[in-house]
Amino acid sequence: MRLIEHFIDGASAGGGQRKSDVFNPNTGEVQAQLILGTQSELDRAVAAAEAAQPAWAAANPQRRARVLMRFRELVESNMEELAALLASEHGKVIADAKGDFQRGLDVIEFSCGIPHAQKGEFTQGAGPGIDVYSMRQPIGIGAGITPFNFPAMIPMWMCGPAIATGNAFILKPSERDPSVPIRLAELFREAGLPDGVFQVVQGDKEMVDAILDHPGIGAVSFVGSSDIAHYVYERGVRAGKRMQAMGGAKNHGIVMPDADMEQVVNDLCGAAYGSAGERCMALPVVVPVGRKTADELRVRLIEAIKSLRVGVSTDPDAHFGPVVTAVHKARIESWIQKGADEGAELVVDGRGLTLQGHENGFFVGPTLFDHVTPAMESYREEIFGPVLQMVRAESFEEAISLPSQHQYGNGVAIFTRNGHAAREFAQRVNVGMVGINVPIPVPVAYHSFGGWKRSAFGDTNQHGMEGVRFWTKVKTVTQRWPDGGASGDSAFVIPTMG
Ligand code: NAD
């Protein structure tokens, strides 16, 4: 059985007695064993990072950027192999797996512009003979703790700006698809990144807690489910670290009566069912405004769902593949049951789907509920599967209040031809990322990604200039170069520049 290890100080490394199974969701088989690390592997990684980071930070920013450029080229040129590896552990279809890398590479490209992004500020003559300048210095050693659903993109959201700004970075990936991060570490090495600057430690809660408590680590970025995000955020802050922790989501798509219905149905199918709904920017809730809109949408959705193909991740015609584990499949199916028990109308039931030749794969078919209400637990909580819930609204006001009052506030979309309604919506909705006729409004790499309410803890978003700010601290220098000797007078009041 293949053993997946850590990547410490430029090489594959063992360590840790406990192991966990890594499945192939297409077949249900255990395809590898993952070593679960402990404090002692983390200590080794931190020691290697401490040895490597000062020279990396001292390298000029163009040099750091060039390593990232080479890394980008290497990921591109190994894309087929990488996407196949990712799909075999996650279950998403190959085209979607390539998108996972591509969205990550967008952030690497942004990070290649670090000589510009890390420039400081300068004021000449802030006082008599006094200049003030500020610079952004790296935190030192940063860590990233990532979820299973984007095993390439989310590590790159974090390590791109962290490494570019001169930090050493330690990644703790999800236990469910841990192989891609190891390949990223190998490719960084091939690109010329010094050993110890990007490392991977494998593990579960034990390793997460070790990271949060380690005095050598200055900043931690987390992405995962909300309860764990909240726990990680609080524990890290208590240990004096800079923290950001992105959590779960329940994104709504508002459909106004004037929307282009054909486009809406296409967009909803992709956004609700793509990647088996395992995206924090999926659209698992649709809110048609008015009965006529709802009735038409329902008929069209039922038709569209019939044409969706669920298949193994290597099937080029499949719209989506299996979910990540048998445990997750059971969890999704129990939410479907819960929705039906709560009184929602189960219009299309995706349970019980089996694929010939892949009877043990973790497949769940597209599922549609109508007449879901805000009081239902299956509406309030995240399902994270191919389940679309229709909540009917009578008015625009009711539609805007649903995502605004929901505990999660990651993304939201409105479909309309009315510019005024769209503008009102974008201004007023209590959610962090808004799409206008865009179902999955994931911001481009040079903007930043982050939700509101229980979808994110901490003040700083991922990537863009927010990422540069998160991974650096500002130092401000006030300098005076007098032309003669010291004046000899002591100042006992706060200096003013007037
Ligand atoms: P998860 O919370 O189970 O795991 C995330 C990380 O936390 C993993 O590295 C895991 O090892 C670690 N972890 C798990 N249990 C822990 C515990 N008890 N204590 C400490 N650490 C623990 O999330 P997941 O199932 O891998 O990913 C799906 C979730 O991530 C969904 O809720 C999804 O919405 C969310 N997500 C959010 C965003 C975002 O940007 N807001 C992006 C992607 C995914």
Q: Which domains does the chain have, with CATH numbers?
A: 2-247+455-477 (3.40.605.10), 252-436 (3.40.309.10)
**pLDDT mean over 164-179:** 98
Cα distance between residue 96 and residue 83, in whole Å: 8
CB 302 within 8 A of CB 269: no
Nearest CA to ligand 1 atom 1: 224
The rounded Å distance from CA 246 to ligand 1 centre is 9
The per-residue pLDDT for 380 is 98
Nearest CA to 244 out of 437, 94, 464 is that of 464
Q: How far is the CA of 385 from the centre of ligand 1 (A)?
A: 15
Closest Cα partner for 212 from 156, 146, 160, 143? 143
Distance 29 CA to ligand 1 centre (A): 23
Q: Which atom of ligand 1 is nearest to the CA of 328?
A: 25
Contact indicator for 125, 159 with CB cutoff of 8 Å? no
What separation in Å is there between the alpha carbon of 93 and the centre of ligand 1?
21
pTM of the full structure: 0.97
Pocket residue to mutate for ligand 1, from 148, 180, 200, most atoms within 8 A of Cβ: 148
Residue 452 Cα to ligand 1 midpoint, Å, equals: 17
CA-nearest residue, atom 38 of ligand 1? 280
Residue 72 alpha carbon to ligand 1 centre in Å: 26
Within 6 Å (CB) of ligand 1, which residues are found? 145-150, 172, 174-175, 204-205, 208, 223-225, 228, 246-249, 280, 382, 384, 410, 451, 455
Which atom of ligand 1 is nearest to 462's Cα?
Answer: 40
Given 112, 159, 269, 280, the catalytic residue: 280
pLDDT at residue 491 above 90? no
Q: Which residue has the tokens 């030749």?
A: 357
- pLDDT confidence of residue 388: 98
Per-residue confidence (pLDDT) for residue 28, from 0 to 100: 98
pLDDT by residue (tens digit) across 431-490? 999 999 999 999 999 999 999 999 999 999 999 999 999 999 999 999 998 876 656 667
What does the pLDDT read at residue 133? 97
Which of 170, 227, 280 maximizes ligand 1 atoms within 8 Å of its Cβ, making it the mutation to test the pocket?
280
pLDDT in tens, 194-242: 999 999 999 999 999 999 999 999 999 999 999 999 999 999 999 999 9
Distances (CA, A) of 120 to 128, 158, 475: 22, 21, 9
Compute, in angstroms, the gap from residue 433 CA to the centroid of ligand 1.
20
Q: What is the Cα–Cα distance from 38 to 486, expressed in whole angstroms?
A: 56
From ligand 1's centre to the CA of 225, what distance in Å? 4
- Average pLDDT, rounded, for the chain: 97
DSSP structural state of residue 393: B
Q: What is the pLDDT of residues 262-277, one digit of tens each?
A: 999 999 999 999 999 9
**What average pLDDT does the segment 144-155 reach?**
98
Can you list the alpha helix ranges (DSSP code H) found in 342-494? 377-380, 396-405, 419-428, 464-470
Respond yes or no: is residue 269 known to be catalytic.
no
Dump pLDDT digits (tens) for 176-185: 999 999 999 9
418-428 confidence digits (pLDDT tens): 999 999 999 99
DSSP state string for 94-114: HHHHHHHHHHHHHHHHHHTTH
pLDDT at position 244 is 98
Which residue's C-alpha comes closest to atom 30 of ligand 1?
A: 224
Nearest to 9 by CA among 50, 63, 64: 50
Nearest CA, atom 21, ligand 1: 205
Amino acid 498: pLDDT: 65
Per-residue pLDDT at 482: 82
Q: How far apart are the first and last CA of the chain?
A: 73
Which mutation among 103, 180, 207, 208 tests ligand 1's pocket best, with the greatest number of atoms within 8 A of CB?
Answer: 208
Residue with CA closest to ligand 1 atom 17: 205
Choosing from 23, 204, 324 the residue with most ligand 1 atoms within 8 A of its CB, the one to mutate for a pocket test is 204
Q: Which atom of ligand 1 is nearest to the CA of 384?
A: 31
294-347, pLDDT tens digit by residue? 999 999 999 999 999 999 999 999 999 999 999 999 999 999 999 999 999 999
What pLDDT is stored for residue 486 in this prediction? Answer: 58
Q: Among the atoms of ligand 1, which is closest to the Cα of residue 226?
A: 32
The pLDDT tens digits of the residues spanning 90-130 come to: 999 999 999 999 999 999 999 999 999 999 999 999 998 99
pLDDT at 11 over 80: yes
